[in-house]
Amino acid sequence: PPAAGAVRLSIRNMVCPRCLRVVQRELEKAGLVVEGVALGAANVRMADGSHLQGPVVQEALQAYGFALVEDPRDQLVEQVKALVV
């Protein structure tokens, strides 16, 4: 679970250790503090404590073929996929 003040992002299309590094780098470039990254998810918070901007995060991830998963049912599907991988 994310720490206080952090948000857990569910991310589609993460399948390998290289994906972890790319996602972490891109989230940091978008101005986020990354507290942890795993296949299919990342725990993040804004460096200045402001509210997380979804479109900014989505743009940072889309450039590399990743996408935020917002629907709870889709998040469950992504969690199952990550466990299988």
| Identity of the amino acid at 1 | P
Among 14, 69, 20, 73, which Cα is nearest to 40's?
Answer: 14
> Strand runs (DSSP E) across 2-40, as ranges?
7-12, 32-38
Assessment of whether the complete model's pTM goes beyond 0.75 = yes
What are the pLDDT tens digits along the chain (85 aa)? 666 778 889 999 988 999 999 999 999 998 899 999 998 899 998 877 767 777 888 888 999 999 998 888 888 887 787 778 6
C-alpha 68/C-alpha 55 separation (Å) is: 10
C-alpha 83/C-alpha 4 separation (Å) is: 25
**What are the phi and psi torsion angles at 40 (to 5°)?**
85, 0
